[in-house]
Chains A and B, each alone.
Chain A
């Protein structure tokens, strides 16, 4: 076993994801199967290889930085228009701090 149900619950917690008990059981089996396949990576000798985090081209790095100038924004009314609960241009959430 590469991953236990206990670890699945821990990772779900990190991911802010509520899983049912049935989902936890199934997830443990499926992730185990996938992680076992991923172990193929250990066959590859990667000594001296730089990790590739982005597709890079031969362009000067600064070429992708645009000029820093102000521009109109959406505004808070439009930006909050899709929120489940919003008021006065703010997102509303359950109580965070006890009074």
Chain B
């Protein structure tokens, strides 16, 4: 099997190929690893590969096939995993010097589930340090390049996962999203990226950034592929008390249902300050939805403009608490030059964390400190409630909300690194859905005249991933992604 053949595979094609004995899972895994290793110098999407683990998983698939044992829905599928998701015995660094040699003692639930479904993990992907960033330039191990334009960022923080799928070196990838970290890179790289309902996928084994906002979600080249991975990893897990009991429907079957008469809201607040080349593609996307007999109407979501401020108070506050554990005692690195315990904490953290992580720890500590708690943290939580209320009110009128994912396409490496606030504003359209905890996704919506991908964001009610996939699937079939 050639690299080009690997790059064109879908989940469904792999299932027919394996069952029809066109290729074995081991052959596929070997070809995928070879292809990924050969392509990686262009983008640096992967931090490391896991050939032993991949081949062991592939051999299990081939043995099951030989013995007539039922194959799982992801049998043989090459999958990349973001390096903030724990893999037992396989180094997991979070893109940080702080965890450069950390080898987790257990697997994340999402990892266990995708491997139980026959999935083959081929490597760990690069990301912004502790998932903090919108460009992947905050990785301690160097940036990822966008496979669609190598002088541009892939988006962040799950930039490596998005780039791996876009480059065709993995069929699927796991990412994590706190304020847009799956959807923004999916949109910049031209792939499908899904942030499911908060609690839909267990966070057990996801290194915590902001616990009330963190999600694990899938990337794929098609809506069907991403839905297949979500279905595998979703559902209650007693290791995560916030994971939801709601049953997991068959997304693939639901996707085939018609979208005629579906009510779609366009919040006017999301169409201000948009680059024209992005706006043009989104407008064309909306025309396609109309041609599918969806009822499109304008809606108002008045608290949208406050979402960034609320988000950067809440996420940094939670991060300052979650990252307190990296103190030189339990995790791999310790400053060499400390006589007292207190110096050891301070020096280890000062040496181990990068600039953006320090900035967020500082902001979070500040907004939680005496005298500022009510003015910043409590106020932000109240504004979060109002942003969420905007959604619940909108969803009384409409079944889905459609917006751009980002106001601009992938920007150049280095372009926003000198201005943290400017970088934060890249998340302006993705943050709101994160605050409300509703399911949201980026589906490819064509390219700008310069050839840069644009993503259409679809948001639906809590636990209505079915409605989201149905609309995204119909959009894709109607040629919306071309």
Q: Is the interface of A mostly helix, strand, loop or mixed?
A: loop
Please give me the residue from chain B that is nearest to A75 by CB atom.
Answer: B105
Query: Which residues between 6 and 28 of chain A lie within 8 Å of chain B, taking CB atoms?
Result: 7-8, 11-12, 14-20, 23, 27
Query: Which residues between 324 and 342 of chain B lie within 8 Å of chain A, taking CB atoms?
Result: 324, 327-334, 338-342
* A15→B361 contact, CB < 8 A: yes
Inter-chain contacts of A40 with B (CB < 8 A)? 305-306, 309
**Bound-complex Cα distance A81 to B346 (A):** 22
**Bound-complex Cα distance A80 to B327 (A):** 14
Check A57/B462 contact, CB under 8 A, given A27-B359, A37-B309, A52-B385.
yes
* B103→A30 contact, CB < 8 A: no
**Bound-complex Cα distance A72 to B385 (A):** 39
Check A82/B103 contact, CB under 8 A, given A16-B349, A54-B212.
yes
Inter-chain contacts of A7 with B (CB < 8 A)? 366
Check A96/B341 contact, CB under 8 A, given A41-B379, A84-B334.
yes
Check A3/B366 contact, CB under 8 A, given A40-B306, A46-B386, A79-B105.
yes
Q: Which of B199, B347, B382 has the most CB of A within 10 A?
A: B382
Give the segment of B218-226, B241-249, B279-287 that binds chain A: B241-249
Please give me the residue from chain A that is nearest to B365 by CB atom.
Answer: A15
Please give me the residue from chain B that is nearest to A16 by CB atom.
Answer: B345
**Bound-complex Cα distance A85 to B344 (A):** 12
**Bound-complex Cα distance A27 to B381 (A):** 25
B 38-75 binary contact with A (CB < 8 Å = 1; else 0): 00000000000000000000000000000000000000
Q: How large is the interface on A (under 10, 10 to 19, 20 to 34, 35 or more residues)?
A: 35 or more
**Bound-complex Cα distance A19 to B349 (A):** 9
**Number of A-B pairs whose CB atoms are under 8 Å?**
170
* B308→A37 contact, CB < 8 A: yes
**Bound-complex Cα distance A15 to B472 (A):** 44
Check A44/B386 contact, CB under 8 A, given A31-B359, A52-B381.
yes
Q: Is B388 in contact with chain A by the CB < 8 A criterion?
A: yes
Inter-chain contacts of B329 with A (CB < 8 A)? 83-84, 91, 93
Q: Is A99 in contact with chain B by the CB < 8 A criterion?
A: no
Inter-chain contacts of B398 with A (CB < 8 A)? none
Please give me the residue from chain A that is nearest to B344 by CB atom.
Answer: A94
Contact of A23 among B244, B327, B358, B436 (CB under 8 A): B358
Q: Is B108 in contact with chain A by the CB < 8 A criterion?
A: no
Inter-chain contacts of B320 with A (CB < 8 A)? 15
Q: Is B250 in contact with chain A by the CB < 8 A criterion?
A: no
Inter-chain contacts of A23 with B (CB < 8 A)? 355, 358
B 343-386 binary contact with A (CB < 8 Å = 1; else 0): 11111011101010011011101100100000010111111111
Inter-chain contacts of B411 with A (CB < 8 A)? none
Q: Which of A12, A54, A84 has the most CB of B within 10 A?
A: A84
* A30→B420 contact, CB < 8 A: yes
Check A27/B362 contact, CB under 8 A, given A40-B309, A41-B383, A51-B381.
yes
- Write the nearest CB–CB distance from A88 to chain B, whole angstroms: 15
Please give me the residue from chain A that is nearest to B364 by CB atom.
Answer: A15
Given pairs A55-B199, A84-B332, A84-B333, 5 additional interface contacts (CB within 8 A): A40-B306, A52-B385, A57-B244, A66-B238, A82-B330
Q: Which residues of B contact A (CB under 8 A)?
A: 101-103, 105-106, 198-199, 212, 238, 241-242, 244-246, 303, 305-306, 308-310, 312-313, 320, 324, 327-334, 338-347, 349-351, 353, 355, 358-359, 361-363, 365-366, 369, 376, 378-386, 388, 420-421, 424, 435-437, 462-463
